[in-house]
Structure 1
Amino acid sequence: MSASPTLPPFDPADPLGIDDLLDAEDLAIRDTVRTWAAQRVLPNVAEWYERGELPEIRELARELGRIGALGMSLSGYGCAGASAVQYGLACLELEAADSGIRSLVSVQGSLAMYAIHRFGSEEQKQQWLPRMAAGDVIGCFGLTEPDHGSDPGSLRTYAKRDGSDWVLNGRKMWITNGSVAGVAVVWARTDEGIRGFAVPTDRPGFSAPEIRHKWSLRASVTSELVLDDVRVPSDAVLPGVVGLKGPLNCLSHARYGIVWGAMGAARSCFEAAVEYAKTREQFGKPIGGFQLTQAKLADMAVELHKGILLAHHLGRRMDAGRLRPEQVSFGKLNNVREAIEICRTARTVLGANGISLEYPVMRHATNLESVLTYEGTVEMHQLVLGKALTGLDAFR
């Protein structure tokens, strides 16, 4: 009778052995992004958050470009051509530092660059993508409007032809990177349907006032876009798509990154709670030795690593060309909702210290309130899944 194989030791940081699913290149990319975030973001992010600004955004973008994190899942034009799983791992590590940093990368790569890569002309790709991949040009994505968020089909921004030019008028709201962008991908209603435009932000009539007084995503640039008779040439329109399917396709790609990123924020809070529970003493021993605290940690670990497994599964499906938008909604709905609950539970483990910026918990918790809303609210993703399950449309 053969001897039983020797089991690997239990790893509290990877209790399910998920790292076994990763190859050497996956691990190298993850470790590169994790090291960058540890060196450049974590020492500064509490101060940035408290001040409500991201003062080094242009330099951070160039650094992210140098490590291949911008548009990393795209191919050609200076992009890394990474797998969906590798991109997801990067999103997890970035959001473990701060949701604002992951949002910078997501909007740059999965929205602005993805729109140009997927729907742009060859000239537009050559004009914008290499500089965006390098972080020399920052992009933003203008879809949401002051009165139209969950219902983008009702957008009012309008583009009309004037000779060989287009003239755009309208407003966009809650636009990440807006006031520092060199190009804005703007979606507008036209006589032929909804079209996308690559709008250089130095055009007369374009302005992007920054939105202040935020209590979430404070280490992030968030702006309004104002288009007042902004004239662009005919070659600014993205020729590859007409209709709402264009921006929705971009949003699905970006939501996939959120599925991973939310687990990064959750992991940061979970790790803070475990470390605190092992060192904080009450009633003569560490609080991690009490049953109620261990129950909290166990439940947090279960939801965290279930969420990471779900993200891995969706990533493998995307790499195989089999990921459906409904499945992305499944992941975004579950992982952001569970990440918020993990953060809230971690706050209870830390007690009063949980609200201090000395620890990452409250910062992640407030950031995730924005992540829960943007790129599809809980209710919208519930209705996407409800329609897929029943075949009945409950949106209207």
Structure 2
Amino acid sequence: MPNLTAYLTADLFDGATRRRDAAVLVEGDTIVGIVGPGGLPDGAKTISLDGGLLAPGFIDLQVNGGGGALLNSAATIDGIRTICTAHARYGTTALLPTLITDTPAVTEAAIAATRDAIAAGVPGCLGVHLEGPHLSVARKGAHNPGFIRTMDEADLERLTSTGLEHVLTTVAAETVPPEQIARLTEAGVHVAIGHSDAPYETAMAAFNAGARGVTHLFNAMSQLGHRSPGVVGAALDSSDSWCGIIPDGLHVHPAAIANALRAKRAPGRIFIVTDAMSTVGTTMTEFELNGRIIQRQGGKLTLDDGTLAGSDLDMIGAIRFMTGTVGIGLDETLRMASLYPAQFMGIDRTYGRIAPGARADFVHLTGDLDVAGVYIGGARQHFAPLS
């Protein structure tokens, strides 16, 4: 079998369980089998991955930028390629380039650029996440309030006719009513609630209409109160909702993350997002978003008034934080970075696992949780030295 490659590893995490002394068989961009050391097919090319752990590639559903590029100001194939390459270095093998609230023209440009990037085969580009503009001004965070607006028929048409297989949009439950959410979900758009000041009942109505979960749990949403459970309470209480969370030690306290993991009603899950900005993979100290300067200092990104503006987080850093600071086991943390976001997007048959029929997207980790190798569609990724 001249086109078959066997990746030999001492320790394999397949997305569900650990295996020892396994070989992952890859043909083209697809995993075709997992065998023991005595089961290698004749003629297969073998690649030994010494030490460490082979795990499913990470999936990040909220990536505003990286490598010096921000989707809002680099809505091009090259911009998306730069973002995907910057995050692949840290183990992310699939991501949604994310557009922060902007004008209709910029939104259309971002959708077109994503469509072009996928057609061009940019490694790691899965689809697009449109975070806004249909948000709550009261919970705007770093979003420009001048661009926030209600959803009209043109917006609905734009979202439901992207030509993309994977589209996620973040909306406020009090701004976008259940009937609009239902129309979006019926068209195959994934809807998340975020930047929302809605009460518990309104958020639950959004989930019942088809919203899949919430964007960056705890941040920019009504909080869990004992008489007013808010969006946080609804997200934790709903058995069908999923929650992205930013584990950088700045957006959410470790104790809040741990409490949310204990409180979340099954089968909904909590998965990791970075909410990364253009600084990831660079030495930049500031950048511009919608005409405003964002400062980077000590791993923290803020507007002049101190408002957090996305994160300086990468996925392997998030995994280290979850295991080392929050105290979550490595296998569960890896699921939060791969299997669970794949399940949220409904793509877990081919993403988030190392299993026959899945894409050959995986990451080789050292014992210290450094990234030793990244494979996207069976191809080893190579990265220029960081400057």
Same fold (TM over 0.5): no
Q: Which has the higher contact order (CA 8 A, sep 6+)?
A: 2
Query: Which is helix-richer, 1 or 2?
Result: 1
Name the TM-score, length of structure 1 as normaliser.
0.25
Query: Which is strand-richer, 1 or 2?
Result: 2
Name the TM-score, length of structure 2 as normaliser.
0.26
